[in-house]
Structure 1
């Protein structure tokens, strides 16, 4: 199974970012790490090995980018406005530096997104904010409300990165073309779009 390591200076984040890519061809699947996790977490936890056959057959290619959770939502040493600003830069990095480059690996011009825990948040939030880029979403125990990370601070960036807030009434027809799987543990969440 092919494995590649990438490291580059992200103009959106103004810092180095790292990513592992598994497989030689196939449908692009971006898998986010869990809360404050790293780009190698999904490999270390055995997730990549569980998809080995699909990777070796060239059916999928898995992209595992780093997170910046320690510099955004989980960083209580900076102001909430800086937390959300850092997250917005991360969203732009995912969009412009990864998704826009790999989406054309398939005829649909879209990607699949997946993640557990806060990685589930990143997958769902990106998919709901950019449905034209996403064909499939798998969010396992993801958060859909980021207000608890904002210490009472609220602005448009907080609103538009908290799916519980902005999904109500969202009328983007691309959203209805997406296959969505939301998994939870012990709590059922009903979201009306």
Structure 2
């Protein structure tokens, strides 16, 4: 495990972002934490152990990042449009600084997988949809993909629209959609148990997102687990251990 600090230079962000790397060889996997989480949350909640055989075998290198949700989506004092604008600054940090670091650290490897749990699943899908050139595979566990349902208020402009997959996916078309169909693969996972419907909205949002992707012919799979499967790290450990080996 190695820890790095990468500057995030934007208004509203008052610290460096942390990236923690696990492993030395294999396909890069960019990991987003759950809501307002930090880079070390994945390890602290047993997720690194869940994929340790892949790390030890040199099949993957994990790059776990900070979320900065407290300055973006989780700041209910901000309008939805302002939250989305700040998310744009975070997105630039990921695609410019973090992706650049991963590229220099893992030269010659395959394109990165993105994954996350809960709000981290939103990040994974959003980055895959908007930057499939960098992140062609997304493994999304218990996500809600509609920021307009996250205690949103205020007028909504372009920033909120383009940060909301449930808004822009229905309007995808032309050559860009053809390219996404050829490039992107999304795995959408949710349980039918506690907290997956209320209060998180993860189960209905996951089902709706799968429907939108199907309408557009974007490659994906919907994997719904049983009534005992809750919105919890215990199950996310098992879900990532089940799905990740297919892609590395």
Confirm or deny a common fold (TM above 0.5): yes
Question: Could you tell me how far apart the structure 2 residues matched to 1:120 and 1:97 are?
Answer: 21
- Off by >4 Å, runs of 4+ in structure 1: 106-109
**Measured at CA, do residues 57 and 124 of structure 1 come closer, stay the same or move farther in structure 2, by a change above 3 Å?**
same
Give the Å deviation of 1:71: 0.8
Once the two structures are superposed, what CA deviation does each residue of 1:100-152 show, in whole Å capped at 9, x if it has no partner? Answer: 33246364652100011000000001111111112211011212111123314
Which consecutive residues of structure 1, in runs of 5 or more, have no partner in the other structure?
none
**Measured at CA, do residues 109 and 169 of structure 1 come closer, stay the same or move farther in structure 2, by a change above 3 Å?**
farther
Q: Map residues 106-121 of structure 1 onto 2, 5 A cutoff.
A: 107=108, 110-121=111-122
Match of 2:179 among 166, 174, 177: 174
Pick which of 89-98 and 76-85 moved more.
76-85
Q: Whose radius of gyration is greater, 1 or 2? A: 2
Match of 2:7 among 6, 9, 22: 9
**Greater strand percent: which structure?**
1
Root mean square deviation of aligned Cα: 1.9
Q: Map residues 32-181 of structure 1 onto 2, 5 A cutoff.
A: 32-103=32-103, 105=106, 107=108, 110-149=111-150, 150-171=152-173, 172=176, 173-176=178-181, 177-181=183-187
**Greater helix percent: which structure?**
2
Number of matched residues? Answer: 191
Which consecutive residues of structure 2, in runs of 5 or more, have no partner in the other structure?
193-202, 217-248
Once the two structures are superposed, what CA deviation does each residue of 1:27-86 show, in whole Å capped at 9, x if it has no partner? Answer: 110010011111111000111011112112221100100011111111123344432221
